[in-house]
Structure 1
């Protein structure tokens, strides 16, 4: 941990002993690992969006700084936060109105099919 971060952050020291190694491994491999499907830039933007959605000032600060290290612009940060807010907003609408999940999935599948057809190259 110290080799990657230059220190052992105090918040990592607050983890209960049975979870400390496991928690560091998850953090290291998912957030800092290079052998993942997502780039560090993509992971940082996701982190910023999730942090904003859950209203965590610690995570917002960490993932914003992580994103800046990856070259993310202020405009991209704002867009990530707005996308998270959009998702949270519509989730509230769907849950609050008890929208039928099976019907929602069917409509979404129809939308995806329609868009896929629209994007298909035209036959000559």
Structure 2
């Protein structure tokens, strides 16, 4: 019987949600995200208001649960250094600036920041060589101890 009650409750909630205009639901969820962002950062950065209401709640949830959470497999410094390395390759000036600051706040040294960026560059360089020379992937794996 409890499973039937859960199903009925779920269907009831779905019916109520479906009856609300989608724009109202998106606006409410976006406002909740803006409130949380203001609480986390002390204010809502201007660019947040340029993000569509329908996208903001999901983007904010991803950011706070993955990048800003201390309850993930990677610590903040490691995540910031990975993000900086990727941002350097994209390139994204916004991310480079923010990830460098975040890495430093998390205790990264100039050497660690430089090494993360150098690793990104080296990886990109070797990728260019492997792909440009059309190195056979199966041979590559076999010769370097893979299966």
Q: TM-score normalised by the shorter chain: which range applies?
A: 0.7 to 0.9
Q: CA deviation at 1:79?
A: 0.7
How many residue pairs are counted as aligned between the two chains? 111
Is 1:12 the counterpart of 2:42 in the alignment?
A: no
Structure 1 segments, 4+ long, off by >4 Å, are: none
User: Could you say which structure has the greater relative contact order, defined with CA pairs below 8 angstroms and 6 or more residues apart?
Assistant: 1
Task: Please list every run of 5 or more consecutive structure 1 residues that lacks an aligned counterpart in the other structure.
Answer: 114-124
Per-residue deviation, residues 98-124 of structure 1 (Å, max 9, x unmatched): 22222223333x1x79xxxxxxxxxxx
Give the TM-score of the pair, scaled to structure 1: 0.82
Q: CA deviation at 1:17?
A: 1.8
Distance 1:105 1:7, change over 3 A: farther
Give the TM-score of the pair, scaled to structure 2: 0.70
Per-residue deviation, residues 57-109 of structure 1 (Å, max 9, x unmatched): 1110000000011011111111110001001111111111222222223333x
Distance 1:102 1:15, change over 3 A: farther
Match of 2:94 among 42, 45, 58: 58
Task: Please list every run of 5 or more consecutive structure 2 residues that lacks an aligned counterpart in the other structure.
Answer: 1-36
Match of 1:117 in 2: none
Asked which structure has the greater CA Rg, the reply is 2
Please, what is the CA RMSD of the aligned residues?
A: 1.6
- The 3-state SS of whatever aligns with 1:98 is coil
